[in-house]
Amino acid sequence: MATDMKRVLDTLGIATDQINPGISTGLEFFIGEGQPIESFSPVDGASIASIGTAGANDYSVMMKKAHDAYEKWRLVPAPRRGEIVRQLGDEFRKYKNELGMLVSYEMGKSYQEGLGEVQEMIDICDFAVGLSRQLYGLTMHSERPLHRMYEQWHPLGVVGIITAFNFPVAVWSWNTAIAWVCGNVTIWKPSEKTPLCSLACQRITARVFERNEVPEGVSCIINGDYRIGEWLTSDSRIPLISATGSVRMGKMVGTAVAQRLGRALLELGGNNAIIVTEHANLNLAIRGVLFGAVGTAGQRCTTTRRIIVHESVYDDFKQRLANAYTQLKIGNPLDPTIHVGPLIDKQAVNNYLQAIEKARAEGATFVVEGGVLEGTGFSSGCYVKPCIAEVENSYSIVQSETFAPILYMIKYHSLEEAIAMQNNVPQGLSSAIFTNHLMEAEKFLSTQGSDCGIANVNIGTSGAEIGGAFGGEKETGGGRESGSDAWKQYMRRQTNTINYGSSLPLAQGIEFAF
């Protein structure tokens, strides 16, 4: 491990010579009863550090502290809760470089993307501060004289958060910053592949909470395997589970939560497409496709997986895109000149190789060949070549999501055909069109157009801003996180009617005399 990384870990409160606590209820940190897990970096294959995991007793203790904290935290005025979140945003600003470097080293995304992920945390804290003064309801006119109706919003209680490895800190912050200003407390189950990021976030949060005398249990983390997720999803004391991950995982979470009539906010897979029309600025489109397809080594839920190109510009675009791929630099993501880092682990590499073989077996022709990189700088075995395959949209492999830098290229004749191909997959997260033609852009955004939760014009499928609600349709789960009115998912709506008269008229003119 490089000296700089050792300094980063020390700064973030992560020990490399002993087991780190994997459970925290705020200011208190515990090793836990479970077997420790080791965090390995896909950058060089090195063991970074060990972290504790929870047993059933640890879970029970944490849940009690979370519920006790909720009884106090919900009574803190929302603007005061927002002020504490504002301070947390400032604390993340102080540690942006170090936390961004840890994200890059533990997960494998480029350092620039690691910094961008921490910036998302800062941005959502800023957003939540303003939101803390805008948790508004509506006033309605009653049909009964001398009556007033209105609605108000109350916190839910304990919010469970399950996150994936690809955004090991940002997705947690999207949920917690909003949940906290709404008056909830949170329990975070991070990915087993990136446990140190959760510990670093909790160390930073604890400093802010201690200064502000925030009750123990408002911010909880609990590291461990799939059993932790099962405890959370089946626990009726948790009214909302926000889960990010695969469609397979989401179906299990959704089923378990539905059985107890709880709420599930699901952010699942994407099979995102970009349509490039004959009226597109091809230089702009190349940039959008390139980052969308290879950013985070293809391990974003918003990664561009399909590119649907009009037949009149298809050959030109293919040549330009293939040339752009030759200029990509693959290697250590902490090097600022590198575009593409490693996949998260060797299982991800196997999935990548299997997808390539399936595509080839179905008839794909590779414009840019893939493969695993070996030799100096690639010792972890997790570095692969981003590739491009010419396919038909109907191929079974194209209908599924492979978390890797594989881009499928498809030719189309009419815009209606392109939109139909884009929509004809089980997933519905992000989509984009590159065109300078107003009618094409508007049609893409209309009810006849994209069926995705995100639809962009002249930008790629990746890189959503926190001001808009993030999420998708169909097998993507239907959840919405981050901006706009996504806060309503973390609260319960209550309708109130007040009679300030001296009689008791009934609604709908019902007479009830006695």
475 is catalytic: no
Q: How many CB atoms lie within 10 A of CB 153?
A: 18
For residues 382 and 342, what is the distance between their CA atoms, to the nearest angstrom? 5
* CB contact set of 479 (below 8 Å; sequence gap of 6+): 242, 264, 265, 266, 267, 471, 489
- 481-485 own/partner pairs: CB under 8 Å, 24+ apart: 481/171, 481/174, 481/175, 481/178, 481/242, 481/265, 481/267, 482/124, 482/127, 482/174, 482/178, 483/127
Q: What is the largest CA-CA distance in the chain?
A: 91
With 0-12 / 13-18 / 19 or more C-beta atoms within 10 angstroms meaning exposed / middle / buried, residue 414 is exposed
Identify the bridge partners of residue 434 per DSSP, sorted by sequence position: 276
DSSP class of residue 334? T
Q: How many CB atoms lie within 10 A of CB 191?
A: 20
Beta strand 23-24 with 29-30 is antiparallel
301 is catalytic: yes
For residues 53 and 295, what is the distance between their CA atoms, to the nearest angstrom? 31
One of 106, 216, 267, 475 is an active-site residue; which one? 267
> Would you say 81 and 73 are in contact if contact means Cβ atoms under 8 Å apart?
yes
For residues 476 and 64, what is the distance between their CA atoms, to the nearest angstrom? 33
Beta strands in 190-326 (DSSP E): 219-222, 240-244, 263-267, 272-276, 304-310
Q: Angle at Cα 348 formed by Cα 345 and Cα 351, nearest 5°?
A: 155
For residues 435 and 457, what is the distance between their CA atoms, to the nearest angstrom? 7
Q: How many CB atoms lie within 10 A of CB 55?
A: 17
3 state DSSP class of 65: helix
For residues 308 and 390, what is the distance between their CA atoms, to the nearest angstrom? 10
One of 301, 382, 387, 452 is an active-site residue; which one? 301
Residue whose structure tokens are 């008839």: 363
- Measure CA of the first residue to CA of the last residue in the chain; give whole Å: 84
Residues with catalytic annotation?
A: 267, 301
